[in-house]
Each structure stands twice: as structure tokens, then as C-alpha cells.
Copies of this chain bind each other. A is one copy, B any other.
Amino acid sequence: MAKNTRAQSLEHLNDKIREFARLREWDQFHSPKNLCMALSVECAELMEHFQWLTEEQSRHLPHATKAEAATEIADVLIYLIRLSQVLDVDLLASVQAKLIANAEKYPVEKARGSAQKYTKFK
């Protein structure tokens, strides 16, 4: 991750996204249920770029496709931030907690080189 400017800090973007919705009076539409649907729709728009590519092709996107993917990734994050706002969930604290849980579920010696779900570990 590049060194981001102040204007690109997560806290700042968080504020901007909240203000964006407030000014447009979108709180009425932004129920968690609706935001979650919008989030899924944006994920699918992202996925559409990859559906017919081989994995190898997906690792080497043409410049234009990569730019489109970046835009869709931004949409996903915007809705995710917005959802965390209306649910009053602390995004980064949740990630930190989940990484700790994942480290327990996927110890290096069991998970190394394996794509198996932890429930299938022996």
C-alpha cells in the first residue's frame, strides 16, 4: 500500500462517505439490508471482469481492465464502509479480531500450501 495522503486516510474517507449520504438524504434507503444487497451487486460487477479469464490471465490484467477493476473495488469498499456506519461496526477493530481468530483456525503447520477449510483439517 502506497503512502496515502491525509485526504486518502480511511478516517477521512469514512467522513466523506457519511457526508455524501447525508447531503443526499439517503439514510432512508441505506438500511443494512439494502446496503448489503448493494455490496453484493458491486462484488458481482467486479467478478464479471474475471468470469471468463483463466487464473493466469487474471494475474496479468490489461491496463484498462485493471483500472475498471479498481473502480469496482472502490465501490465495494464504499458500500462496506457505509454498511459499517449504519450498523455502528468498527471496521478495523473487526478485521484485527478476525485475523487473530484466523491465525488460530489456520495454524501455519496445518494450513501451509493447502486450500482446505479449517473444518477439514485432520
Size bracket of the A interface: 35 or more
The complex is assembled from copies of this chain, and their number is 4
Query: In the bound complex, do residue B36 and residue A90 qualify as a contact, i.e. CB atoms below 8 Å apart?
Result: no
Choice from B4, B96, B103 contacting A20 with Cβ under 8 Å:
B103
Residues of B within 8 A of A91 (CB): 1, 73-74, 77
A3 vs chain B, min Cβ distance (A): 8
Chain A residues proximal to chain B, CB less than 8 Å:
1-2, 4, 7-11, 13-14, 16-17, 20, 23-26, 28-29, 31-34, 36-41, 43-48, 50-56, 58-59, 61, 66, 69-71, 73-78, 80-81, 83-84, 86-87, 89-99, 101-103, 106, 108, 111-115
Query: In the bound complex, do residue B73 and residue A80 qualify as a contact, i.e. CB atoms below 8 Å apart?
Result: yes
Contacts A17-B99, A91-B1: A38 and B24 contacting too (C-beta < 8 A)? no
Choice from B54, B74, B87, B115 contacting A94 with Cβ under 8 Å:
B74
Contacts A40-B43, A75-B98: A86 and B59 contacting too (C-beta < 8 A)? yes
